[in-house]
Structure 1
Amino acid sequence: MSEKEIALVTGANKGIGFAIADQLARRGMTVLVGARDRARRADAVARLTGDVHGVELDVTDHGTVERAAKEVETRFGRLDVLVNNAGIVGELPQTPGADPLPGVRQVFEVNVFGVIAVTEAMLPLLAPGARVVNVSSSVGSLADMTARDGGHLAELPALLAYPVSKTALNAVTAQYAKYLRDRGILVNAVCPGYVATDLNGHDGGRGPDQGAAIAVAMATLGQDGPTATFTSEDGPVPW
């Protein structure tokens, strides 16, 4: 069994996921790059430095999720860090009154059900003191959604897919934190901020390395670190 910590990052072939994988590998972890596309996965592994391995993983495909868990078990015997990063914005429209249900289902399959599927598959492998990090977004903050002045996201329209999926993901985070607390496993949600990625068409924002920083910080917590939190680089994000 490896003395290095073993980390799995989903959606790690590009953007924030790639930056998280890079930063964890540079900290001496064995990093498993979870990605569904073989060519992009191989390219990501080739561009990363350190002890890095590709793992076929489509969070919406039960077969690949189960095979990924089996591969982690066979090759490494445990998992110290799980970063549920894979996510999509989904197609528009997502506004109420615009028949958004098909798009809502698509987004939830990745952003919510995919996180549950991967986490469930990896639960038996999580070592005592392991960290689970769910990459969320402040657009899922109920406090901001319901603020009389619209909060700091007042310019956003009413959407039923992406922000609602992140609200649900935050609730999933809280439930796993409760479930795993007795095992000393820390489960936290993070907001990377507005980052220029394929998710938003690279429309402004900070770089992926900066966006990855908060996820990496929560993935490298000590055993006395917090659990059941929602955090950004600037501090706690209101639920």
Structure 2
Amino acid sequence: MAFDGKTIVLITGANGGLGYATAKILLCTSSDYHVIVGSRKGYNGVEAVSKLQAMPNIKGTVSSVQLDVTDDASIALAAKEVEETFGRVDVLLNNAGICLLDPDMLPTLRKTLATNVIGAVAVTEGFKGLLRLSSAPRLVFVTSSMGSLTHAADPESPHFRTKSGLEVSEYRISKAALNMAMVQIGKVYPTEGSGLENLKTLGVDPGLNRTNLLGPRIMKSDAAKHLPEPNVGASLIASVVKGEHDDKLGRVVGKSGINVW
């Protein structure tokens, strides 16, 4: 097959922000990578692929798939398309996420959990069979120190409150739940006879970067002006994808090492 010698990397929410920046880094790293840009709206994925292919220093190959992490039918169709084209997934990067600023907490929490937690688990379940067909499967969850109970309960922590003054409680709750999902999946999937005994599971905290996740209100604030560009956080994500932190399996990798829970 044409992709036998490549590492097939599927990134959810990769038409912009950290997902897109991570795809750029991987594609410019080696010809061994084929990146599949997962995008909630198919045309956004197609546009992202065109931009990536136009990079002068691209080495790897790239394609897109329509993938809405909150839609089971979309996940199933995406998995079928990837299976028919590539036959496997070597790295599943659960990157898609939202941070809503609606003051009405309960509906905001439901929407946030649907994408940031249920969506990530649903995609992982939907692509589990394709990870099983890889000789070196890797599962990565993009999370945040904002989901750390230790930081959230410590008034001296830089993550006790946001610099913008917004609590984003729903986002914090979702990332705390995602961390537990990552730990549990990392324990349950590789059981004997599962076909995923060699699965490597990690979380990665790229820190706060200037992306559309923040929304226009925060992006226009003074605090956002000092945030790093997406390539900064994406560099850490890419390093986890490449296997540079395999001594930290089952934990969340941050810029300073292993994050506290």
Give the TM-score of the pair, scaled to structure 2: 0.84
Amino acid at match of 1:189: G
Judge conservation of contact 1:7–1:31 (CA < 8 Å) in 2: yes
- Point out the more displaced range, 64-73 or 221-230: 221-230
Equivalent residue for 1:198, pick from 198, 212, 217: 212
Tell me the residue number matched to 2:140.
133
**Counterpart Cα distance in 2 of 1:153 and 1:226:** 22
- Extract unaligned runs of 5+ from structure 1: 94-98
Tell me the residue number matched to 2:234.
212
Tell me the residue number matched to 2:194.
none
Tell me the residue number matched to 2:92.
82
Tell me the residue number matched to 1:31.
35
Matched, 1:188 2:202: yes
**Counterpart Cα distance in 2 of 1:224 and 1:14:** 27
**Counterpart Cα distance in 2 of 1:59 and 1:216:** 21
Judge conservation of contact 1:144–1:153 (CA < 8 Å) in 2: yes
Judge conservation of contact 1:186–1:225 (CA < 8 Å) in 2: no
Amino acid at match of 1:11: G
> Which contiguous aligned blocks of 4+ residues in structure 1 show a shift greater than 6 angstroms?
none
Tell me the residue number matched to 2:255.
233
Seen in structure 2, the aligned counterparts of structure 1 residues 158 and 136 have a Cα distance that, compared at 3 Å, is: same
Matched, 1:166 2:175: yes
Tell me the residue number matched to 1:100.
105
Task: Give 1:59 shift.
Answer: 0.4
CA RMSD of aligned residues (A): 1.7
- Extract unaligned runs of 5+ from structure 2: 54-59, 192-196
**Counterpart Cα distance in 2 of 1:18 and 1:158:** 27
Tell me the residue number matched to 2:8.
6
Tell me the residue number matched to 1:143.
150
Task: Give 1:236 shift.
Answer: 1.3
Say how many residue pairs are matched: 233
Tell me the residue number matched to 2:57.
none
**Counterpart Cα distance in 2 of 1:16 and 1:224:** 21
1:206 match: secondary structure = coil
Tell me the residue number matched to 1:155.
161
Per-residue Cα deviation, 1:63-97 (whole angstroms, up to 9, x for no partner)? 1100111111111111111110000002322xxxx
1:134 match: secondary structure = strand
Amino acid at match of 2:23: A
Judge conservation of contact 1:180–1:186 (CA < 8 Å) in 2: no
Task: Give 1:224 shift.
Answer: 5.7
**Counterpart Cα distance in 2 of 1:211 and 1:134:** 14
Give the TM-score of the pair, scaled to structure 1: 0.91
Seen in structure 2, the aligned counterparts of structure 1 residues 129 and 206 have a Cα distance that, compared at 3 Å, is: same
Judge conservation of contact 2:153–2:160 (CA < 8 Å) in 1: no
Equivalent residue for 2:78, pick from 41, 59, 68: 68
Task: Give 1:42 shift.
Answer: 1.2
Judge conservation of contact 2:18–2:211 (CA < 8 Å) in 1: yes
2:50 match: secondary structure = helix
The 5 A counterparts of 1:14-29 are 14-26=16-28, 27-28=30-31, 29=33
Amino acid at match of 2:254: S
- Point out the more displaced range, 213-222 or 116-125: 213-222
